[in-house]
Amino acid sequence: MKYPEVLFNVVLIEPEIPQNTGNIGRTCVGAHSVLHLVGPLGFEISDRQLKRAGLDYWPHLEVRRYDNWHSWWSQVTDPSRVFFFTTKTARPVYQARLKPGDWLVFGRETKGLGPEVIEKFSEQTYSIPMRGPIRSLNLATAVAVVLYEGMRQIDTTPAF
Please state the pTM of the whole predicted model: 0.92
> What is the pLDDT averaged over residues 96-120?
97
Q: What does the pLDDT read at residue 97?
A: 97
Q: Does residue 42 carry a pLDDT above 90?
A: no
Pairwise CA distance, residues 133 & 144, whole Å: 21
What domains can you pick out in the chain, each with its CATH number? 8-154 (3.40.1280.10)
Contact 110, 87 (CB under 8 A): no
Q: Indicate whether 155 pLDDT > 90.
A: no
Sign of the CA dihedral running 6, 22, 95, 72: negative
pLDDT, one tens digit per residue, over 44-95 is 777 677 676 655 777 888 999 999 999 999 999 999 999 999 999 999 999 9
Query: What's CA 16's distance to the chain center, in Å?
Result: 14
Which pLDDT value is given to residue 1?
A: 45
Cα–Cα distance measured from residue 41 to residue 38, given in angstroms and rounded to the nearest whole number: 7
- Which distant-in-sequence residues (6+ apart) come within 8 Å of 39 by Cβ? 14, 65, 66, 67, 68
Task: For the chain, give the percent of residues with pLDDT over 70.
Answer: 90
